[in-house]
Structure 1
């Protein structure tokens, strides 16, 4: 921790260890009831939840002896600077997801958040069923299915419900692909 005589780190890039400490500490803090209440109270006071989660990150940076503005700016560079460190990038995306969940929980309230988590789990189960079913097909068929899925998601502005194809839709894609009358665009 920086003291009055120790300047805060404000240049270069955060190390892997510093980033992992931030991610772990943030995850721990945002799971605490008093921090959840702090974020929810801010939302009730018409503040942005993300402003509170950013403030929490800044507090962690100060604990670490890092200038908060510098630390926040480094977060925007993680994927570029550490592009070859797959594990760190995965941890970074988990950190982002944790922040989004903390904001969602504060904005939706406990019941709304629980409902969203249930719906998210059901969606993931359907996606897994679809992927398991797709694996029964030849690689070329899987490519055609994924292309159709991509088009569907693009047309729906990437709404999560568009990330699923039914078994019937998959069968239709495969049948069209092998039909001599079907000409791909």
Structure 2
């Protein structure tokens, strides 16, 4: 550990946001992408390289890298009341996953995965728009059912969608839906 580096307490909100921004910048640059891809070609784990990049950022910040990495495991609980920071943290994790996928998958397979993910997100958005038509109690019941489905499916991406038909089965038949809003065809197919 470098002398004078932070090694106790918890990283501040500003330190975490700096890490997230710097990591995103470095891993989106051609040199950063090349570094991760070359490591994968050398049979190294992509996540080992992204972790090394995070450790380098911590050193730049004057933070002991082991301490900084350990703080990342506590962000959700320590900052649970800071919704914006928690969202930024999950975006950071997602960007790390994308950087690893891009290095591990070929260019064509990565592009296909990103397209599939975009389609899934669009379907999720359509589902959420449809759910918003129901009363809050019904929305809670629908989201609880969705959570159970995801849990039972080991949180596979495909389990994060309920069809309009499935939603109709969850809510009571007399549930009023705002008829002024457009009804989305089951199963929230997105037209590419």
TM-score calculated relative to the size of structure 2: 0.80
Deviations 1:126-160 (CA, angstroms, capped at 9, x unpaired): 11222222233333433333333233222222211
1:120-139 alignment, distance < 5 Å: 120-139=117-136
> Unpaired segments of 5 or more residues in structure 2?
175-192
Q: 1:31 aligns with which of 3, 28, 32?
A: 28
**Which deviates further from its counterpart, 147-156 or 15-24?**
147-156
> Unpaired segments of 5 or more residues in structure 1?
180-185
Instruction: Give how far 1:94 is off.
Output: 1.4
**Aligned-partner SS, 1:71:** helix
TM-score calculated relative to the size of structure 1: 0.83
Name the structure 2 match of 1:40: 37
Question: 2: CA distance between counterparts of 1:140 and 1:87?
Answer: 26
Q: 1:59 aligns with which of 56, 59, 78?
A: 56
> Is 1:15 aligned with 2:12?
yes
CA RMSD of aligned residues (A): 2.2
Larger radius of gyration: 1
**Aligned-partner SS, 2:129:** helix
Question: 2: CA distance between counterparts of 1:107 and 1:165?
Answer: 31
Name the structure 2 match of 1:151: 148
Instruction: Give how far 1:121 is off.
Output: 0.9
- How many residues matched? 174
Question: 2: CA distance between counterparts of 1:150 and 1:12?
Answer: 34
Larger relative helix fraction: 1
